[in-house]
Amino acid sequence: MWINIDKKSDRPLMRQLYDQIKHLILDGRLAPTEKLPSTRQLAADLGISRSTILNAYNQLIAEGYLQGNHGSGTVVASGIDVFSIPPEISVKKRQATVAAKNQPATAVIDFQSGVIDSSQFPLSEWKKAYQRSLDQVPEAAFRYHPSAGVLSLRQTIADYLRRTRGLACDPDQIMIVSGSTQGLALISALFHDQQQAVLIEDPTHPGLRKIIERSKLNLIGIAVDDQGLVTDLLAPQPAPAFIYTTPSHQYPLGGILPIQRRQKLIQYAIANDAYLLEDDYDSEFRFEGQPVSSLYELSPDRVIYLGTFSKILTPAIRLGYLILPKPLIAPYLELKKYSDVHTEALTQYALAEFIDSGGLEKHIWKMKKIYAKKRQHLIDELSRCYPDKFEIKGHAAGLHMVVHFNGIVFDAPQINRINSRQVRVYPINNYVFGNKTPYCSDILLGYAHLTFAEITTGITRLCTALRQPES
């Protein structure tokens, strides 16, 4: 039968035999009604136990590949079409392939935004908090949970926001989500039936545009300047379902929405019976003064507040939260229930313990100092390599900065020249879906995940490419 058994393999002998006979049948090399060797004969030929042969035959009979006829042996079943199965990749080869895919391209310096310095994750403190939480949780913690999330975490977040942001809310208004991406997707789906427009800042992250568009909502971009969303442009727009905004640190340009515009934005929302979706994605990392006040505290009945722990701790935790105006709570919970029932609960208990122990605020304080030093190092390297030919846009905050290069246009040929130097940068025009002209000379540089040496190397390569004459 051309069967080869590898007794040194980590795959069970029965599975090897089962797979090979199945492939012989599907390939047409064992024809319908063809008789197979007896279990005793095949066991002797292959040098393995008869019970292994029996188990393989029985499995193939159960799946319809073989028929066992009492007194006449086992034969190939009829009615099976010839079908080619791709050869199986060995475990070692598969592991090597996965390792190769996961291997970072160390030669490339990638100034991608929104990526944290994962080497600084407080693993020891997190493990202790996780263990303490497991020691304390009741038996009910291993059952299904309310769609709103674990109550202890919601209470902890409410206290944390009151203490650090001056933001007052009821824990019942806090909804735990699997990261801010799910939070935005659920809010977009909540307004799906209304078929209304959604106003968003322009430029903004293209990924969030796709999330909103998946709910069949019509996107309308509102221009931003160095102070965030230009509220004077709101009046002619149709009444929207909600307005997406990043008032504490506009993404990607970095402006802070002043109180005058915040009030106009709230007045517009009230007049048009719309909600404001405030994405507070990295307000903890402000390097000049205290975190900016939230839009939510000015109008809790009109603002949906979206927060995340991905940019503070690690995206691996996949935990974020929404603060909802009370009229939205019931329809949201119905939607969340039939989305994924509830966000994974054990990590929620651990995060509550980690925050209560002071671990989160200690980590934020540490990372603010590290990120501030990296930001300054990036500016210093730009000054060294490209003096007096660039301008920093936005406030000193977050995990990225926007840089304007005088006399440079970041078109496709220019980006190709930069990429050829093994460095990746991101033109602001990639984030624009309206008028791209004002941003032709601007790029986004994320620095949080890079080492000081990588920042130096990356900026040196970038400036070398910028001085390279066009071919």
Give the pLDDT score at 97.
54
Mention the CATH class of domain 123-359.
alpha beta
Q: Domain ranges in the chain?
A: 1-93, 109-117+362-467, 123-359
Contacts of 150 by beta carbon, 8 Å cutoff, 6+ apart: 176, 345, 348, 349, 352
| H-helix or E-strand spanning residue 223 | strand 218-225
Instruction: Retrieve residue 131's tokens.
Output: 């263990």
Instruction: Retrieve residue 386's tokens.
Output: 């490209």
Q: Cα–Cα distance between 285 and 122 in angstroms, integer? A: 17
Per-residue pLDDT tens, the chain, 471 aa: give them: 678 888 888 889 999 999 999 999 898 889 999 999 999 999 999 999 999 999 999 999 999 999 988 777 899 999 988 877 666 655 555 555 555 555 554 589 999 998 999 999 999 999 999 999 999 988 888 999 999 999 999 999 999 999 888 889 999 999 999 999 999 999 999 998 666 899 999 999 999 999 998 888 889 999 999 999 999 999 887 889 999 999 999 999 999 999 999 999 999 999 999 999 999 988 888 877 677 889 999 999 999 999 999 889 999 999 999 999 999 999 999 999 998 989 999 999 999 999 999 999 999 999 999 999 999 999 999 999 998 889 999 888 889 999 999 999 999 999 999 999 999 999 999 999 877 788 999 999 999 999 999 999 999 999 999 988 775
Give the pLDDT score at 9.
86
Contacts of 250 by beta carbon, 8 Å cutoff, 6+ apart: 201, 224, 228, 229, 256, 257, 394
The pTM assigned to this predicted structure is 0.84
Give the pLDDT score at 107.
81
For 235-287, give the DSSP string.
TTSPPEEEEEE-TTS-TTT-----HHHHHHHHHHHHHTT-EEEEE-SSTT-BS
Give the pLDDT score at 105.
46
Give the pLDDT score at 282.
83
Number of H helices, E strands in the chain: 14, 16
* Fold held by 1-93: Arc Repressor Mutant, subunit A (1.10.10)
Q: The sheet that has 275-279: what strands, in order across it? A: 174-177, 320-323, 303-308, 275-279, 240-245, 197-202, 218-225, 228-229
Q: Cα–Cα distance between 61 and 54 in angstroms, integer? A: 10
* Fold held by 109-117+362-467: Aspartate Aminotransferase, domain 1 (3.90.1150)
- Give burial (CB, 10 Å; 0-12/13-18/19+) of 222: buried
- CA max distance for the chain: 93
Q: Cα–Cα distance between 35 and 68 in angstroms, integer? A: 10
